[in-house]
Amino acid sequence: MTTPFRKVALVTGASRGIGRAIALDLAQRGFDVALNDIARQADTLAETVREAEAFGGRAIALHADVSSKADVSSMVESLLAQFGRIDAVVNNAGILIAGPVETLTESSWDVVMDINAKGTFLVIQATLPAMKRQGYGRIVNIASIGGKHGAPEQAHYSASKAAVMGFTRVLAQELGSSGITANCICPGIILTDMGRVNLDDPEVQKIWRSKTAQDRIGAPEDVVGPVAFFCSDDSAFVTGQTLNVDGGIVFS
């Protein structure tokens, strides 16, 4: 009797926040997980790996800067050497540096675009050959409702997330007959370390709560179910879509 293989998921930016929640949820659902973050997050990433392993599968840490092609290539080579396949990719790594357009530095624009947009491209480009060989893959790119309607002092962040959505739509068209789907999740206001850029002030939290139909700020765990759906075969006939996970802020 053949033992069914465990599917393998790569989650970038997995040491904390939404990435950590996604990683633990996929591990609980039976995936082996390869968890990525930059080297300075090694300790928190190692803790996420230990928590993921507690669900009974395999979990590994992969340190890489997703904006570096060399780092990403090495990361994917290591993943395939250890797991032999890759079934789902969740591009979650991202940063936000707030600042008005008038005084925004070129370096701030570049680093946000490099990690959020180019990083997504590089990870997909590196993982596509393995998924194409398998004739199977699930790509989930984490964008943001900011990529749809923007927010003051987030021009570069909003532009990077709009780029991720456009990139995903093209991926879906290029990969349509390959057994690989590509979809986007657009979280709303989520209470994470990065989200606190918007939420340091209790009055700001109150304003954002009032903007949601559910009258609450989101938690990382609110994002995991939609991601798991796009990583599963339940979404086999869904590709090129963008799903808002925001408690009711953007209605489209």
Confidence check: pLDDT of 132 > 80: yes
d(CA 199, CA 195): 7
pLDDT tens string 147-156: 998 888 999 9
- Four-residue CA torsion sign, 88, 126, 15, 184: negative
pLDDT of residue 142: 98
Fold of domain 8-244: Rossmann fold (3.40.50)
Query: Whole-model pTM above 0.75?
Result: yes
Among residues 31, 157, 208, 230, which one is catalytic? 157
Specify the higher pLDDT residue, 196 or 199.
199
**CA Rg, the chain, in Å?**
17
Q: Report, as an integer, the average pLDDT of 171-191.
A: 96
pLDDT of residue 105: 96
Confidence check: pLDDT of 94 > 70: yes
State yes or no: is 136 an active-site residue.
no
Kindly give the pairing relationship between strand 59-63 and strand 32-37. Answer: parallel
Q: Report, as an integer, the average pLDDT of 222-248.
A: 98
Structure tokens at 100: 């008005």
